[in-house]
Amino acid sequence: MARQYLARQYPLYGWPSWQECRRLGVDSNACRLNVKAFLLAEATGEFRVPKKGEWFLSGAVPEAYKAGHKHRMTTKFNIARLVLRANPGS
C-alpha cells in the first residue's frame, strides 16, 4: 500500500447505506441528502480484493467506492472505512 493513502481522507463516490450513517451517529436522512457534508473515507492499511459492500479507494484522484453486490471483484485495492468529517458542512 502506498504511504500517501494512510494519512489522508477521501470523498465518497456513491451513497452509504442508512445503517452505515446510523453507525457513525449521523441521521440517516440528512446523511443521504448531503453525504459529502458528513462523511469521508480513510484507508485501513489493507490492500486486497474488496468484499461485497465494502468501501475501497480507487482512481487517479482517489475516491472511495463501494464494492458492488452483483459481480465478484478480482482486483486488489486499498480498503477504506467511513469516518465523520471533522467540520460537517465545510
- Look up the pTM and report it: 0.84
Taking only the tens of pLDDT, the chain with its 90 residues reads 455 566 689 999 988 888 898 888 888 788 778 887 889 999 999 999 999 999 999 998 899 999 987 778 899 999 999 998 876 655
Q: Taking a C-beta distance cutoff of 8 angstroms, is the pair 40, 82 a contact?
A: yes
Q: Strand pairing of 9-10 and 39-48? A: antiparallel
Which residues have CB under 8 Å from 63's CB, separation 6+?
Answer: 10, 11, 12, 13, 41, 57
Q: How far apart are CA 75 and CA 27, in angstroms?
A: 33
